[in-house]
Amino acid sequence: MTPRNAEKDQKLRDERQRQILEAAMHVIARRGLPATKISDIAVTAGISVGNVYKYFSSKDDIFQALVESGQREYRQFVEHALHLESSPYEKLFWYTENWLTYQSGWAITVILQYARTSEAVSAELTQAVSSRFIDNLRPMAAMIAEGQAAGVIKSGDSMELALIYVSMMEGLILHNIPGIHEITTLTPDKMLALLLK
């Protein structure tokens, strides 16, 4: 196999895994992990059950990969906000605006809460999810600390403020599930007012 074909095959494999995880995220978020079958994920992904098993050995394997990729994607998102060439307020505004409009934010939030609270999830996975959650607060805390140093964000422990803000954002996105838009007037300005001096 030529390097070009190996690269093409890997790209196709990565795309297929993303397709399966995207389908799994929405099916599991709506039905719950115990009620979800591999066949449900396959139908939603538009592939055969056998094809799903080429990439993942079980539903638990899919769930673990989904949780890990969701937390990794969130970390990249918040790191991007932190490293923007802008003021602390503009960084937080970008984070808030993009999180409020993130189409799959509700689904990954439901899944991560399930991973952290369900007895059906292994203690090892629950601990890993909680550890990554705390670690993923650090870039947000850094943005808040920058805002505090600039005199625009209220004083307080930056990690505590990050936890409060991120938790609020997670809670609010659950009121904007496709087909159930309970809150329609949320804007970044309204959200950030809670952090501003």
Residue 59 has pLDDT above 60, yes or no: yes
Band of the pLDDT at 1, cuts 50, 70, 90?
A: low
Q: What is the pLDDT of residue 120?
A: 87
Residue 38 has pLDDT above 70, yes or no: yes
List of domains in the chain: 1-56 (1.10.10.60), 66-197 (1.10.357.10)
C-alpha to C-alpha distance for 88 and 168, rounded to whole angstroms: 19
Q: What is the pLDDT of residue 52?
A: 96
Residue 180 has pLDDT above 80, yes or no: no
28-34 average pLDDT score: 92
| Cβ atoms within 10 Å of 145's Cβ, excluding its own | 17
Q: What is the pLDDT of residue 77?
A: 95
158-166 average pLDDT score: 96
pLDDT, one tens digit per residue, over 97-114 is: 998 888 888 999 999 999
C-alpha to C-alpha distance for 66 and 85, rounded to whole angstroms: 31
